[in-house]
A and B are shown apart, each in its own frame.
Chain A
Amino acid sequence: MTSIFCGSSLAVFAEENPKKDESPLDLKTLKLADSDYAMPLPGEILSTLKSAKPEAWKQVTAAAQTLDVAADDEASSAILLGASVADCFLAIETKDTALFDKRSDTALEAAKKLGAEQPILDSGKTLKDLVKEGAWMKVVPKLDNLHLETLAAMRKIDDTDSEAITLASGWLRGLYLFSEGLLADYSAEPTLALRQKDLVNHLIIKLSGISDSAKESAQVKALSTALGKLPAALPEAKDATLTKEQVAALNAIAKSAFVK
Chain B
Amino acid sequence: MNTFFRSRFSKLTGAAAMLSAALLLTATPATASVLGARVCAAVLFDALSSDWYIRDAFNYGLLQRGQSTVLSTTLNAGRTYKVVAGGCEDAFDVDVAVYDESGNLVSRDSDTSPLAVATVSPRWSGTFYVKVTMYQVRPNSGGAAHYVVQYAYQ
Contact of A6 among B11, B109, B114, B133 (CB under 8 A): B114
With A141-B13, A145-B13, A196-B74 as contacts: A6 and B139 at CB distance below 8 Å: no
In the complex, chain A residues whose CB is within 8 Å of the CB of B95:
20
Within 8 A of A (CB), among B31-64: 39-40, 43-44, 47, 50-51, 53-59
B71–A36 CB distance below 8 A: yes
B115–A140 CB distance below 8 A: no
Q: Quick check: is B117 within 8 A (CB to CB) of the other chain?
A: yes
Which range contains the number of B residues in contact with the other chain?
35 or more
Q: Mark B71-114, 1 if CB is under 8 A from A, else 0.
A: 11111111100000011010111010101011111000111111
Q: Quick check: is A2 within 8 A (CB to CB) of the other chain?
A: yes
Contact of B77 among A26, A37, A193 (CB under 8 A): A193
B126–A38 CB distance below 8 A: no
Within 8 A of B (CB), among A79-100: none
Interface contacts beyond A17-B93, A38-B151: sample of 9 additional A-B pairs, CB < 8 Å, sorted by A: A4-B43, A6-B40, A26-B103, A32-B70, A44-B53, A48-B76, A50-B78, A199-B74, A239-B123
Q: Which residues in A have some Cβ–Cβ distance to B below 8 Å?
A: 1-2, 4-7, 11, 13-15, 17-18, 20-22, 24-27, 30, 32-33, 35-41, 44-45, 47-48, 50, 123, 137, 140-142, 144-145, 148-149, 151-152, 189-190, 192-196, 198-199, 238-239
